[in-house]
Amino acid sequence: MFYALFAAIVVVALATSLAVVRFFDPAIVKILRRTLGQDLADAWRYYISFAIVVAGISGGVRPWNLEQYLPPTAGKGSTQLELTGARWVLELWNALTETLRSMALVMFLFFICLMMAYVIARALELRRARELEAGKNVDASGRE
């Protein structure tokens, strides 16, 4: 019964991760193309998708929480919990919510970093435009 629960949790975490990556893929591609350009956007898209799936699975599958369903080792005073239908529902729900929480954290960090990169790039563009404008004004007036 333990192995079936573990497999079900892995399936829930994997399916949730893939669904979230598929849902957010258009937004990620659009942001990456705007920030990094076409060539780099495709490579980073695969990396970010992989990172989101890995974070989702590692956050949703919590083997240390499942240890309570294993028989106790000799000499330890712990007890084994029985896998009932209610515990299955609870464990699958926990897997789903922890998967989503882990992916939300990764995506939050990703979007914060990209937003900072966008602001820096925009500030550099504005500075360059001002310097060019100042250079044109100096050339037009004949002074340096």
Closest by CA position to 100, among listed 142, 59, 49, 143: 59
Find the mean pLDDT for residues 78-99. Answer: 84
Q: Could you give the CA distance from residue 87 to residue 65 in angstroms, rounded to a whole number?
A: 12
The predicted structure's pLDDT at residue 122 = 86
Find the mean pLDDT for residues 101-109. Answer: 94
Model's pTM, two decimal places?
A: 0.75
Find the mean pLDDT for residues 23-40. Answer: 88
The predicted structure's pLDDT at residue 114 = 86
CA torsion through residues 84, 88, 91, 94, sign = negative
Q: Could you give the CA distance from residue 102 to residue 110 in angstroms, rounded to a whole number?
A: 13
Q: Could you give the CA distance from residue 144 to residue 139 in angstroms, rounded to a whole number?
A: 7
- pLDDT band (50, 70, 90) for residue 67: confident
